[in-house]
Chain A
């Protein structure tokens, strides 16, 4: 009883002091804190039987962050870029921190960015979608018009065709984020293009659709009309809120299962034609150069792929005993059917557990429990999709495509777990 009373008094005093601090500037108090205070080192004063500060004193009230942000201790979970890859930040790419994410939904602020002329800033009142060419009626739609069409809500992964492009010739970047992070997975809200095209009508001769962005690169890609009518969407929302500016606000094209470059952001126009337009992106870029010097063109589908997100170069093993291996698998041809995991560089495989929901053309989560006793491991994962396509090794891809393809490297990666628990991206052969 005595002890409790004493505690009550000291709590009251500390409370007042804390309130003063908050009154001065609670935000400043956090941001000025030395980095070491924000690190994840254990403070014994917060451990049992002691009473941690947060248990005694009031925390922030509502509206301190009108738009909530992640915990200050999650500051390392951010998009990152590789500066030497590109000439300017406005025509560049960064990477999703897959190693820090769980489940299948990529938080909006962590979806990797790829811009060709920077992020356009568009007042939604000024948004217009024009549809012209081989249609019965050339038309213009406002954002409000689009939102009045029947709505669709779908999860899809978006992967840049160059994801893993730096790894064709060998293990180059030492991170899960840098080697697999040009992919994200969100729920899109939008309108099916097949519905919008009911308004314009489609002339019989129309076989291709040119999608054009309104950004300063005027991004353009040609897409077959069959794909447009099959499952393409004009989306205005992701994960329940308006598209982020860097993802095409106020509206973008969604081309499920196909390479990210085709998902034109800040969309302004669709032109229907009888032939492909052979834009810069689909000729000089996003064509896959083979050893013969000839290049494959119109390689749209993203083949099945998987990655172990933990352990990974960013997620070393810190202790012996039980661990949960975690990873993601996806296929542009449909659902993931199975994922196998090897700990000995591909000699022996075990089938991992897939977690629901397992959706078509969406990231799928897999896990596999394993015991680690300080031995060296060569971790690999291998995805199989519902078409029975098996994720290939880099050798299998290189034999057919050489090393100059840049795009569509969906090969199996190897994470080497050393005896000290550190993890490295390595190439076997």
Chain B
């Protein structure tokens, strides 16, 4: 009995020590430990390498129907865009032109980003209502319309990190700014050689909203 009592005492001592170790790690002792279920419910992001992609799959063949149902009203039957809603397809070879068209096909560097965004924010106004499979289907259909995958390609959590997007290498890092002529804090103060000719007036463009109050 005495031995058992000793055992209980030392056991509680261990628990006490463990607890106090945790407490000293946490300087303020505020907040609660999140459960796995809590984290799983909110941790919806998908990274370029596919990390975070939920288990599921879909093809463009099946995706066409749900795209037409859920997306086409704003983005057009073929991803061409409607009214001022963005086009999702097209714009290849336009990025260096005077009027670049930035679409998922021409500009987005990672397929994972399309999955992540469609799942978290689309359809506009009914966010996070698509199933994982429906999201893979829609993304597959978009990639198919941009000639990035075949119609029967099965897009899934296993391969979304391997899709090669046309503009994958279109981005420059790191930030090179400040990138303008550096005058080291001592710019010209008088008789500076600048053109002061007026070459454009906002008034002539005439796109400023009218205002009753002004």
B121 at interface by CB-CB < 8 Å: yes
Q: Which residue of A lies closest to B36 (CB)?
A: A138
Q: Which residues of B contact A117 (CB under 8 A)?
A: 121, 124-125, 127
> Which 9 pairs from chain A and chain B are nearest by CB?
A293-B96, A388-B185, A345-B196, A218-B120, A76-B213, A293-B95, A174-B202, A87-B84, A427-B200
B172 CB contact (under 8 Å) in A83, A90, A297, A338:
A297
Task: Encode contact with A along B192-205: 1 for CB under 8 Å, 0 otherwise.
Answer: 10111111111101
Q: How far apart sit A217 and B118, CA to CA, in the bound complex (Å)?
A: 10
Q: Which of A105-113, A248-256, A284-292, A355-363 contacts B (4 or more CB under 8 A)?
A: A284-292
**Size band of the B side of the interface?**
35 or more
Q: Does the CB pair A400–B30 fall under 8 Å?
A: no
Given A278-B109, A314-B214, A349-B190, are A138 and B34 also a contact pair (CB < 8 Å)?
A: yes
- CB<8 Å pairs between A and B, sample of 15: A83-B209, A138-B34, A141-B31, A148-B28, A217-B121, A218-B44, A218-B120, A273-B51, A280-B117, A297-B172, A346-B192, A348-B189, A396-B180, A428-B196, A429-B199
Question: Which residues does chain B contribute within 8 Å of A340, judged by CB atoms?
Answer: 187, 189
The reply to whether B43 and A173 contact each other, CB–CB distance below 8 Å, is no
At the interface, yes or no: B16 with Cβ under 8 Å from chain A? Answer: no
Using CB atoms and an 8 Å cutoff, list the residues of chain A in contact with chain B: 35, 75-76, 78, 80-84, 86-88, 90-91, 116-117, 130-132, 136-142, 145, 148-149, 170-175, 178, 195, 198-199, 201, 210, 212, 216-218, 220, 268-269, 271, 273, 275, 277-280, 283-284, 287, 289-301, 303, 313-314, 337-338, 340, 344-349, 378, 382, 384, 388-390, 392-393, 396-397, 400-401, 404, 408, 416, 424-429
Q: Which of A35, A148, A284 is in CB contact (< 8 Å) with B102?
A: A284
Q: Which of B59-102 contact A (CB under 8 A)?
A: 74, 83-85, 95-96, 98, 100, 102
Given contacts A149-B28, A175-B208, A218-B44, 13 further A-B contacts (CB under 8 A): A83-B209, A84-B84, A117-B121, A117-B127, A148-B28, A171-B201, A268-B42, A269-B43, A280-B121, A284-B107, A284-B108, A298-B173, A428-B198
B43–A348 contact, CB under 8 A? no
Indicate if the CB atoms of A87 and B85 lie closer than 8 Å: yes
Q: Does B205 contact A283, Cβ atoms closer than 8 Å?
A: no
